[in-house]
Amino acid sequence: MADAHSRPATPIRIGRVPDNDIVLADLDVSRHHAELRRNPAGSFEIIDLGSHGGTYVNGKRITRTMLTEQDSISIGHATFRLSGGELHQYQDESPGSLPAITDAHQVVAAFWAAAEARYWDALGILLADDVLYRGPQAREQVRGREAYIRFNAEGFAYEWHIAVQRIVGEGQHAVSWVEITVPQGTDTGLCFFDLADDGKTALITDFWPQPYELPASRAHPVERY
């Protein structure tokens, strides 16, 4: 099954953030990743915009290349095909579709990419209807997909940005180490994810450890960084 993007009179830009024409909630996709251009003669060209993960046409990494009918374009976990003058995105290979992504590591990577991009529809795709969020330190709890999306979209009245440091996942479980930057500085968070059988996120448990001063009793063998 595929989504079709009509041939462009103006360039179509593909990337992770909402100001793109095609938005992919995937950490392997750069903020502004690639651009599809239609030349005056009617031919199409794909141009990589200096992405970190690369743009691939028929399995070969490119910087820019002309496209022909039925060429396959891969960006992050998404696959497109040029057919009949339209760019078709195949949902079963896209990071925003389920059950194509059922590996916990990939789900969590897509989760944080969607959150950072404020792409709430893509975040919702990754959540179970009855997802449960828990923050043990504040004893806060949020039940259900809509409530959790509203919690993130409306619950923080300041600018924030997430940088993922590491994700470790196996089967239906994963943990992420992230750093969130807010006007007051940067905090470190550990977030545990448990997936349901269909690959959607069923439980999120969030910890935000606070820094503290090194006790004098442990200072002698320690090197500070």
Which has the minimum average pLDDT: 21-30, 62-71, 138-147? 21-30
Per-residue pLDDT tens digits for 73-83: 989 888 888 88
Grade residue 7 by pLDDT with cuts at 50, 70 and 90.
very low
Q: Rounded to whole angstroms, how far apart are CA atoms 221 and 131?
A: 44
**Rounded to the nearest 5°, which phi and psi values hold at 71?**
-60, 145
Per-residue pLDDT tens digits for 203-223: 999 999 887 787 788 777 777
Q: Is 68 a residue whose pLDDT tops 80?
A: yes
Grade residue 95 by pLDDT with cuts at 50, 70 and 90.
very low
Give me the sign of the Cα torsion angle 60, 56, 98, 111: positive
Q: Rounded to whole angstroms, how far apart are CA atoms 116 and 75?
A: 18
Q: What is the pTM of this model?
A: 0.59
Per-residue pLDDT tens digits for 54-63: 999 888 899 9
Torsional class of 70: left (φ above 0), alpha (ψ -120 to 50), beta (otherwise): left
In one letter, which amino acid is 159?
E
Grade residue 102 by pLDDT with cuts at 50, 70 and 90.
low
Q: Is 9 a residue whose pLDDT tops 70?
A: no
Q: Which two tokens stand for residue 136?
A: 């043990």
Mean pLDDT of the chain: 84
More confident site: 212 or 170: 170
Q: Is 14 a residue whose pLDDT tops 90?
A: yes
Average pLDDT over residues 175-204: 93
SS3 145: helix
Average pLDDT over residues 112-140: 90
In whole angstroms, what separates CA 155 from the centre of its chain?
Answer: 20
> For residue 92, what pLDDT is reported?
46
More confident site: 83 or 50: 50
